[in-house]
Amino acid sequence: EVQLVQSGAEVKKPGESLKISCKGSGYSFTSYWIGWVRQMPGKGLEWMGIIYPGDSDTRYSPSFQGQVTISADKSISTAYLQWSSLKASDTAMYYCARAEAVGATRFGAFDIWGQGTMVTVSS
Amino acid sequence: AIRMTQSPSSFSASTGDRVTITCRASQGISSYLAWYQQKPGKAPKLLIYAASTLQSGVPSRFSGSGSGTDFTLTISCLQSEDFATYYCQQYYSYQTFGQGTKVEIK
């Protein structure tokens, strides 16, 4: 079964660092892109960025560039989303999702989603 | 960045209704358009990609159309399990989601 399994919920204080994970299984992890999507409480979906684990090619939304870091360890089929200094406004559900590679540098829609990781930042 | 605008933001409908949601891109995106369904507390689910291609396992009452800047998602006969929020997404240049359309029970 093709699936993405995300790490568990986190409760952090402002200023702390955090790295959440997304482990792929049931498919060739290095042949698909993995993206990250934020959903703040009661709000819509926001595309944060995406990585191709095969060569670590990474793209960021301008809204999230410099705010988070996306990485991947293909040896363990896991992608990561990390913050160096959390803010209360980072409180949200974060989803990882898989996208097909289209040509050499493009990606398709998200066909497989993780279950989500809830991040709560509060003093 | 490409902006995606959905309309309406929400509406009420009854089981059996034919419903249509529209999505407009701020610039041409060819057919690089997907539709997702999200239910409360759940991850989004891909319904349609390439503007009109039904994802495997999705009921045929869902259909998509359009190209360029204007797109529609149609549910031909609304079922109880279809009450949810729907998002369009462009993947022509990076990715962007629309703001969502909530379909509620009348």
Nearest to A35 by CA among A1, A2, A11, A60: A60
Cβ neighbours around B86 below 10 Å, total: 23
Average pLDDT over residues A94-103: 94
Query: Mind giving me the DSSP string for A10-24?
Result: EEE-TT--EEEEEEE
Q: Which residues pair with A117 in a beta bridge?
A: A94
Query: What pLDDT is recorded for position A88?
Result: 98
pLDDT tens across B30-88, in order?
999 999 999 999 999 999 999 999 999 999 999 999 999 999 999 999 999 999 999 99
pLDDT tens across B1-25, in order?
999 999 999 999 999 999 999 999 9
Nearest to A99 by CA among A69, A66, A64, A57: A57
Strands B10-13 vs B101-105: parallel, antiparallel or unpaired? parallel
CB proximity A108 to B under 8 Å: yes
CB proximity A99 to B under 8 Å: yes
> Under a CB-based contact definition with an 8 Å cutoff, are residues B74 and B18 in contact?
yes
Query: What pLDDT is recorded for position A103?
Result: 81
Q: Which residues of B touch A110 (CB under 8 A)?
A: 34, 36, 44, 46, 89
Q: Identify each DSSP E strand in chain B by its residue range.
A: 4-7, 10-13, 19-25, 33-38, 45-49, 53-54, 62-67, 70-75, 85-90, 96-97, 101-105
Q: Which residues of B touch A62 (CB under 8 A)?
A: 1
- Interface size between A and B, measured as CB pairs under 8 A: 57
For a pLDDT cut of 90, what percent of chain A falls above it? 96
Which of A44, A47, A113 is opposite residue B100, by nearest beta carbon? A44
Q: Which residues pair with A60 in a beta bridge?
A: A49
Asked if A109 and B1 come within 8 Å (Cβ–Cβ), the reply is no
> Under a CB-based contact definition with an 8 Å cutoff, are residues A75 and A55 in contact?
no
Query: What pLDDT is recorded for position A105?
Result: 82
> Under a CB-based contact definition with an 8 Å cutoff, are residues A113 and A99 in contact?
no
Residues in B whose CB is inside 8 Å of some CB of A read: 1, 34, 36, 38, 43-46, 49, 55, 87, 89, 91, 94-100
Comparing alpha-carbon positions, the chain B residue that sits nearest to A108 is B91
